[in-house]
A = this chain, B = another copy of it.
């Protein structure tokens, strides 16, 4: 059925950072709708952020566009030196290669539900605030100096 039964799609914690950086995304639940529905051109994540949870550490991708639309709740989009409130119906886009890390944080007392669209990262991902780097070559999280976690 093209209409997706969200309850039938497993909700996971999503990609997990090494400790102790994982704490930021505790309370994040991700349903990967693309594989569930048979889509391959792009990925679609149905994301629920419990109060206090973030979509990610603040990051930017060298080679993958990202798009987000808020379905429920109120979140804060954090970038370098900026904080913008996102509410239901608000859209945000993050073109590849723009070196301004972003994250979306639920600072409210109610859940935030959003849809994120992107692709499986095939390029490096840079983290703005923490000592983390995603190396596409071997699909590993490392310290910025290349040392393993």
> Which residues of A line the B interface, CB within 8 A?
1-4, 6, 33-34, 37-42, 44, 46, 64-65, 67, 69, 71-72, 77, 79, 84, 86, 88-96, 102, 113, 115, 117-119
Query: Closest Cβ of chain B: how far from A46's Cβ, in Å?
Result: 7
Q: List 17 A-B contacts (CB under 8 A).
A: A2-B79, A2-B102, A3-B91, A37-B95, A39-B95, A41-B42, A41-B65, A41-B96, A41-B118, A42-B67, A42-B119, A44-B67, A44-B91, A44-B93, A67-B117, A89-B113, A117-B117
Count of identical protomers in the assembly = 2
Whole-angstrom CA separation of A95 from B41 in the bound complex: 9
B42 near A65 (CB under 8 angstroms)?
A: yes
Whole-angstrom CA separation of A40 from B64 in the bound complex: 9
Q: Give the chain B neighbours of A102 by CB distance below 8 A.
A: 2
Query: Closest Cβ of chain B: how far from A133's Cβ, in Å?
Result: 22
Q: A33-B91, A91-B46 are in contact. Are A2 and B77 (CB under 8 A)?
A: yes
Whole-angstrom CA separation of A118 from B34 in the bound complex: 12
Whole-angstrom CA separation of A113 from B2 in the bound complex: 18
Whole-angstrom CA separation of A38 from B65 in the bound complex: 9
Q: A2-B93, A3-B86, A91-B4 are in contact. Are A117 and B71 (CB under 8 A)?
A: no
